[in-house]
Amino acid sequence: MITKHLIIFGTRPEAIKMAPLVKEFKKHTEFETRVCVTAQHREMLDQVLSFFDIQPDYDLNLMKPNQNLYSLTADIITEMRTVLEDFKPDFIYVHGDTTTTMAASIAGFYSGAKVCHVEAGLRTHDKRSPFPEEINRQVAGRISDYHFAPTEQSKDNLLNENVSQNNIIITGNTVIDALLDSSERVNVIQNDEIETVKSIVDSDKKLILVTGHRRENHGVGFINICEALKEIAMANSDVQIIYPVHLNPNVKGPVYEILSGISNIRLIEPLAYPAFVWLMAKSYMIITDSGGVQEEAPSLGKPVLVMRDTTERPEAVEAGTVILVGTDKNKIISEAQSLLTDTTRYQNMSALHNPYGDGKASQRIAQFIKTKY
Q: Is the pLDDT of residue 86 over 90?
A: yes
Q: Pick the catalytic residue: 28, 42, 218, 246?
A: 246
Q: Pick the catalytic residue: 133, 177, 289, 335?
A: 133
Q: Is the pLDDT of residue 266 over 80?
A: yes
Whether residue 178 is contained in a domain is answered as: no
Whether residue 183 is contained in a domain is answered as: no
Question: What pLDDT shows up at residue 354?
Answer: 87
Question: What pLDDT shows up at residue 111?
Answer: 98
pTM of this prediction?
Answer: 0.84
Question: What pLDDT shows up at residue 251?
Answer: 80
Confidence of residue 198 (pLDDT cuts 50, 70, 90): very high
Whether residue 182 is contained in a domain is answered as: no
Confidence of residue 215 (pLDDT cuts 50, 70, 90): confident
Q: Say which residue, 159 or 372, is predicted with more confidence.
A: 159
Q: What is the mean pLDDT of the chain?
A: 93
Same domain as 167, residue 47:
yes
Q: Pick the catalytic residue: 24, 79, 90, 97?
A: 97
Same domain as 285, residue 155:
no
Whether residue 346 is contained in a domain is answered as: yes
pLDDT digits (tens, 9 = 90+) for 334-357: 999 999 999 999 999 999 888 898
- The 322-324 sheet, strands edge to edge: 265-268, 239-244, 206-211, 285-288, 304-306, 322-324
Whether residue 76 is contained in a domain is answered as: yes
- The 58-59 sheet, strands edge to edge: 58-59, 31-37, 3-9, 91-95, 114-118, 146-149, 168-170
The reply to whether 125 belongs to the active site is no
Domain count, the chain: 2
Same domain as 162, residue 14:
yes
What CATH number does residue 66 fall under?
A: 3.40.50.2000
The reply to whether 81 belongs to the active site is no
Same domain as 253, residue 154:
no
pLDDT digits (tens, 9 = 90+) for 267-293: 999 998 999 999 999 999 999 988 888
The reply to whether 128 belongs to the active site is no
Q: Pick the catalytic residue: 14, 79, 90, 119?
A: 119
Same domain as 83, residue 15:
yes
Question: What pLDDT shows up at residue 295?
Answer: 87
User: What radius of gyration, in Å, describes the C-alpha atoms of the chain?
Assistant: 20
For the segment 166-192, the average pLDDT, to the nearest whole number, is 92
The reply to whether 269 belongs to the active site is no
Buried b (16+ CB within 10 A) or exposed e, 248-285: eeebeebbeebbeeeebbbbeebbbbbbbbbbbbbbbb
Whether residue 186 is contained in a domain is answered as: no
Question: What pLDDT shows up at residue 247?
Answer: 77
Same domain as 242, residue 156:
no
Asked if 39 and 61 count as a contact pair (C-beta separation under 8 A), the reply is yes
Q: Pick the catalytic residue: 42, 185, 213, 266?
A: 213
Whether residue 184 is contained in a domain is answered as: no
Confidence of residue 248 (pLDDT cuts 50, 70, 90): confident
Same domain as 119, residue 241:
no
Q: Pick the catalytic residue: 28, 42, 185, 215?
A: 215
Share of the chain above pLDDT 90, in %: 77
In three-state secondary structure terms, 166 is: helix
Question: What pLDDT shows up at residue 310?
Answer: 79
Domain that holds residue 270: 191-350
The reply to whether 95 belongs to the active site is no
Same domain as 142, residue 77:
yes
Same domain as 204, residue 140:
no
Same domain as 48, residue 148:
yes
- List 288's β-bridge partners, or say none: 211, 306
Buried b (16+ CB within 10 A) or exposed e, 185-198: ebeeeebebbeebe
Q: Whose CA is closest to 106, among 97, 115, 117?
A: 115
Report in angstroms the alpha-carbon separations of 160 from 155, 169, 260: 9, 15, 48
Same domain as 329, residue 199:
yes
Same domain as 247, residue 160:
no
Whether residue 96 is contained in a domain is answered as: yes
The reply to whether 86 belongs to the active site is no
pLDDT digits (tens, 9 = 90+) for 40-64: 878 888 989 999 999 999 999 998 8
